[in-house]
Structure 1
Amino acid sequence: MFSMMEAARLEALHLAEDPASGLKAVIAIHNTRFGPALGGCRYLAYADEQSAIADAIRLAQGMSYKAALAGIDHGGGKAVIIRPAHLPSRAALFEAFGRFIETLNGRYITAIDSGTSSADMDCIAQYTNHATSTTQEGDPSPHTALGVFAGIRATAQARLGSDDLEGLRVAVQGLGNVGFALAEALHAAGAELLVSDLDAGRVQLAVEQLGAHPIASDALLTTPCDILAPCGLGGVLNAQTVAHLRCAAVAGAANNQLASPEVADQLESRGILYAPDYVLNAGGLIYVALRHRGEELPAITAHLVQISRRLTEIYAHAQAEKRSPARVADYLAERLLYGT
């Protein structure tokens, strides 16, 4: 455990168990140089406790990089709650998690993530002020999608010479709250949509409402397209999948799309432009951070513009230095976080 913390340069790792509610939770605090750690809470089944800890650490590091490049006054953190096989009361579990967060004295602020909802945040908020994306504050998903859409336009400009998406074939993998909202924006911009999701109902909805072409989940990555947009869970890009990609660029909302840092170099060698995920999907973080401190929507929307600007800056650095944009983004984030 300590070796994982050292490798990620993690500040702290907190574990909590509450047998009465069934809570088994991990909070990873990666970096608080610019402010309290902010990051979502995942509620998922894990193969074992070690996998849950590793997920929290990896995601917390990504949140630090995301916050640094987004220019908000927060560090990175992440929480994971191991979903129990039998749950007497979901509300009681998240209330117990709220009490756990309160013991950290403001060093970590939680938000919704995979498997959690604004209703869960409402339960947490009964016991701590360090929770955002509650029902009152609203779902950050539309703002994540808005930032990704702007980033896709910047990616199209950098790779294809124009930010006009009319007629471009965009493959969206994953039609959750963010993926579907992104698909709606792409459809409105005239893009041709190829979609996949494990939920056949979501795919059918995209077909009916957006004129999307359904593609089997195991075939989407090898389907010819202009831009691939991974919007599900992470790790979809590895040595095997990248070898068979048939796209000009990858730009999607999913966190931790690269199975390893070396995959970024493989994409670069194949001439596939990669939009660093934590730069592209920062809209949700920007929304929850600014809403938590009382900012109104116009100010939040104005801040989202920085996503495409930062991405364009990263692409320019990458082209000049003949390096992957992922390597450039990591360098810029680490320079801010550690002064290196």
Structure 2
Amino acid sequence: MLFDAADFDAHEAVHFVHDAATGLRAIIAVHSTHLGPAAGGCRWWFYEDDVAALTDALRLSRGMSYKNAMAGLPMGGGKSVILRSDAAPKSEALLEAFGAAVDSLGGRYVTAEDVGISVADMQIAARRTRHVTGLPVAGGAAGGNPGPLTAEGVFVGMRAAVAHKLGKSDFAGVHVAIQGLGSVGGALAEKLAVGGAVLTLADIDADRARAFAARLGATAVPVDAIAGVAADVFSPNALGAGLDEATIAALQVAVVAGAANNQLATPADGARLAARGILYAPDYVINAGGIINVVAEYLGQGDAASVARAIARIEERLADIFVQADRSATPTDVVADTLARALIGR
């Protein structure tokens, strides 16, 4: 039963989408519209089964409610996942069918890029709905590919964590182990290299990791070794649920700060990090740069400069969470969740 699912959190609606002509199978989860339309990207992914897809949609949509609320955006939280299948490859017709499904919700859900979905894909979906963002924009305007803006938010948020835990005001000599070098992780690695960080890199595409390492003067390691690297910061920028009991036990860092959504595999894992003295930057706070950008595009409010100012505030927001966590001896994820739920009336 959906209502008995572990990650069902009083979601307002969960839509199961099927289009026989294109083979589209998708789930659109609307967690909350308390602050406005539910905003969150679309993920295209191979799932082990339908239950795994539902779990991802439920967790990601809840995270978007928290993310948008903590970023001060007039938007609720939602997410969509398209169940990738060899039997129904990505096509213009399938993406248009997805756009039509989004449009059928009458603006209660606004979509954008996520894992496996590109700007070009969203342009195709936009043929059938106006409730899509992350589209190409003119220079100086808000919007476009959210990846680099997400990386900027992680960069300033990591700086807050490094200042709080290590007492350093910049990244000179700070060793960061980066897991995942996609549009966000790759941009983050480049920014950290410019800032003087020492980098160890890993990606599921080993050739990509080696190419980044050669270009940035970093070290590449196998993806299954990155969580155990002795460093100052571990930065997860791949898929979620990577911080579990075993991973946390293997960490040799003082800080965890990265862009991946839903980094904690279970609610107990935030406490596990805190018990080890590892400072955790709650994912939906630190990775809000992309949604700040695309919401400004969708609402037609502000420009690239105002988006940059909003993203810069992630640093102060995290610094406040770290102080509250210290004062109350509470894990940082619990502090952030409490603040976010109050903002969405939960």
Aligned residue for 1:71? Answer: 72
Deviation sequence 1:92-141 (CA, Å, 0-9, x none)? 10000111111100000000000101111011111110001123442000
| 8 Å Cα contact 2:176/2:198 also seen in 1 | yes
Normalised by the length of structure 1, the TM-score is 0.97
SS of 1:8 mapped into structure 2: coil
Aligned residue for 1:227? Answer: 233
Partner residue of 2:331 out of 324, 331, 334: 324
Aligned residue for 1:297? Answer: 304
Aligned residue for 2:219? Answer: 213
SS of 2:151 mapped into structure 1: helix
| 8 Å Cα contact 1:170/1:229 also seen in 2 | yes
Matched, 1:12 2:20: no
User: Which aligned pairs between 1:194-273 and structure 2 lie closer than 5 A?
Assistant: 194-273=200-279
Give the Å deviation of 1:201: 2.4
Aligned residue for 2:101? Answer: 100
For residue 320 of structure 1, what is the amino acid of its counterpart? R
| 8 Å Cα contact 2:176/2:232 also seen in 1 | yes
| 8 Å Cα contact 2:64/2:76 also seen in 1 | yes
Deviation sequence 1:254-291 (CA, Å, 0-9, x none)? 01110011111011011000000110000011011011
For residue 337 of structure 1, what is the amino acid of its counterpart? I
Deviation sequence 1:27-54 (CA, Å, 0-9, x none)? 0000001100000000111111121111
Matched, 1:112 2:113: yes
Q: State the alpha-carbon separation in 2 of the partners of residues 88 and 176 from structure 1.
A: 22
Aligned Cα RMSD in Å?
A: 1.2
SS of 2:41 mapped into structure 1: strand
Matched, 1:166 2:172: yes
| 8 Å Cα contact 1:5/1:57 also seen in 2 | no
Q: Which runs of 5+ in 1 are unaligned?
A: none
Normalised by the length of structure 2, the TM-score is 0.96
**CA 1:32–1:153 in structure 2 vs 1: closer, same or farther (change >3 Å)?**
same
SS of 2:42 mapped into structure 1: strand
Aligned residue for 1:337? Answer: 344
**CA 1:88–1:182 in structure 2 vs 1: closer, same or farther (change >3 Å)?**
closer
Q: State the alpha-carbon separation in 2 of the partners of residues 266 and 5 from structure 1.
A: 20
Q: State the alpha-carbon separation in 2 of the partners of residues 222 and 47 from structure 1.
A: 26
Give the Å deviation of 1:313: 0.7
Aligned residue for 1:55? Answer: 56
Give the Å deviation of 1:89: 5.8
Q: State the alpha-carbon separation in 1 of the partners of residues 243 and 99 from structure 2.
A: 35
Aligned residue for 1:184? Answer: 190
Q: State the alpha-carbon separation in 2 of the partners of residues 6 and 164 from structure 1.
A: 38
Aligned residue for 1:45? Answer: 46
Give the Å deviation of 1:3: 2.0
Give the Å deviation of 1:24: 0.5
Q: State the alpha-carbon separation in 2 of the partners of residues 109 and 3 from structure 1.
A: 26
Aligned residue for 2:33? Answer: 32
SS of 2:344 mapped into structure 1: helix
Q: State the alpha-carbon separation in 2 of the partners of residues 260 and 163 from structure 1.
A: 32
For residue 275 of structure 1, what is the amino acid of its counterpart? A
**CA 1:140–1:234 in structure 2 vs 1: closer, same or farther (change >3 Å)?**
same
| 8 Å Cα contact 2:178/2:202 also seen in 1 | yes
Give the Å deviation of 1:7: 4.0
| 8 Å Cα contact 2:19/2:97 also seen in 1 | yes
Give the Å deviation of 1:87: 3.2
Give the Å deviation of 1:163: 2.2
Q: Which runs of 5+ in 2 are unaligned?
A: 138-142
Give the Å deviation of 1:216: 1.4
Q: State the alpha-carbon separation in 2 of the partners of residues 210 and 292 from structure 1.
A: 35
SS of 2:259 mapped into structure 1: coil
Give the Å deviation of 1:6: 8.1
| 8 Å Cα contact 2:15/2:28 also seen in 1 | yes
